[in-house]
Amino acid sequence: MMPVVNCPNCRKTLRLPAGAQSIRCTTCNAVSRISNPTSFPPPLPSSSLPSPGPRSSYAPPPPPTGGSSPLVYSPALPSAHGPKRAVICGISYRDSCYELEGCIKDAKYMKYLLVNRFNFPESSILMLTDEETDPSKIPTIRNLRRAMTWLVHGCQPGDSLVFHFSGHGSQIRDIDGDEVDGYDETLCPLDFETEGMLVDDELNATLVRPLPCGARLHAIIDCCHSGTALDLPFVCRMDRNGRYGWEDHNPPSGIWKGTNGGEVISISGCDDHQNSADTSALAEVISAGAMTYSFIQAIERGAGATYGSLLNAMRNAIHNADTEIDGAPLTTLLIMLLTGGNEVRSLTQEPQLSSSEAFDVYSKPFYL
């Protein structure tokens, strides 16, 4: 098997040709000098990583002794590779001070929706959660990378793919000049404090750019700072009255962020500068991600005919959940809970739509 290394800059896994003394990362263009091709560079210190927002942070177990992993990674992934397949990831970060209650429920709800509403075969859905007993299905950064590669590998015209992530998201300083606000958006795997985060550049390179003509991918991202989590070229800006326009987010550097002819549409929990809530406000009793729950609710109530009607229904559900309890807005109480009661401020969450191409959101039918 060809040896691999991790890019020390963006953490992408790179296959090393035999005898190579250096390798350039295809995502960030950083050049790595190779001293021991079969080993991985040391993990980034946790002090160099920003703390994610309210949906955030995992306290990892002590590192294994002797340089070996405590998990034996099975190469087995779902063998069924039909025209509909999905990767669903829900991370609770349990036993940490940033534990989330709703993310694994989000994953289970999403699987139920795909199987029962959109006819996805269960055998073609790969679930990654931190309650899994199979080490290959625990949502570490390594397993997430394998799962994303599996999802798009061998993709053909007519295929419908879904990538769903419910957990913590964050931002890091952009180093390649392709972000208008100067920050890359990230997803936080279970082991992000020791192994790093999944940066939007890598998500784009893995999930978006390989997609061939006639294939389509929906990314449903329920975490903080997720508006442009896939770095797609076009972002839909919609006001409270449903009026919208598309922003061109093609980077000035000229780096292509679109597909290889396919179509990618991302529906995310909030804008890049916002936080996503883990709350029981929408589900009444159970805790769930506000975005995932409002997404499923809109479809089940018949509001998912077009992308415009779906996005409006999701936003209205979240806005209407901002009711008062004992005179305080629900979202304010949520912030007080997350900050130990020492901070009172409004939590604004606006689900976002981005795409590999611009389209009329009120005439384009939504389907998976």
Cα 149 to chain centroid, rounded: 14
Active site residue 223: no
Residues 6+ apart with CB under 8 A from 19: none
Burial label for 324, CB within 10 Å (0-12, 13-18, 19+), is exposed
Q: Which residue of the set 223, 224, 236, 270 is catalytic?
A: 224
Distance CA 207, CA 217 (A): 8
Pull the structure tokens for residue 160. Answer: 């419908």
Terminal C-alpha separation, the chain? 36
Q: Which residue of the set 25, 155, 164, 168 is catalytic?
A: 168
Active site residue 168: yes
Kind and range of the H or E element at 357? none
- What sections of the chain are H helices per DSSP? 103-116, 141-152, 192-195, 200-203, 290-300, 307-320, 330-338
Distance CA 218, CA 122 (A): 18
Placement of tokens 């799962």 in the chain: 147
Positions marked active-site: 168, 224
